[in-house]
Structure 1
Amino acid sequence: MTTLTSREFNQDVGRAKREARLEPVFITDRGRPSHVLLSFEAFRQITGQTESLVDLLAMAESPAAEAEFESRSRWETREERF
């Protein structure tokens, strides 16, 4: 298990990313764990996500995905007003 302080993480993000390919990296803030950096593959395994990038891109071409994107865009626009 790799543990980095917030300062170490900020000074060497590349190291954190390399370590995260092998195992989760715990990032501490004032000595307490505050974040965990995972590889995307590890995240997919933990969440049970089975879609590949190709599947997700194919979904983006469907009309349902367009409708979802449009609704998100409207929401973001409303958020920006406030």
Structure 2
Amino acid sequence: MTITTLTSRELNRDLGRAKRAAQAGPVFITDRGKPAHVLLSYADYQHLAGERRSLVEALSMPGLSAIPFDPPRASIMTKAPDLS
């Protein structure tokens, strides 16, 4: 993975160069010498963001039933309050 650093001015002058560099790795864009933005390819972004799924989809994943889950039964007893 190649990391490229460009100034905001360089980015404005040659956007094509920044896009090509993003295919090889992240491109840090500086503003007055400080990192301000990062340009990533869409594939790299998807990898970082991960696949989003609902709770129902996550719980219905294949192979999930192979994990043993046998919690102990809860024993909830009621007790009369002492009103004396």
> How high is the TM-score relative to the length of structure 2?
0.58
Letter in 2 for 1:34: A
Higher helix residue share: 1
Counterpart of 1:49 in 2: which secondary structure?
Answer: coil
CA distance in 1, matches of 2:48, 2:15: 23
Counterpart of 1:10 in 2: which secondary structure?
Answer: helix
Task: Return 5+ residue gaps in structure 1 as ranges.
Answer: 51-82
> How high is the TM-score relative to the length of structure 1?
0.59
User: Looking at CA atoms only, which structure, 1 or 2, has the larger radius of gyration?
Assistant: 2
CA distance in 2, matches of 1:9, 1:32: 14
Letter in 1 for 2:11: F
| Moved segments of 4+, more than 2 Å | none
Which residue does the alignment assign to 1:18?
20
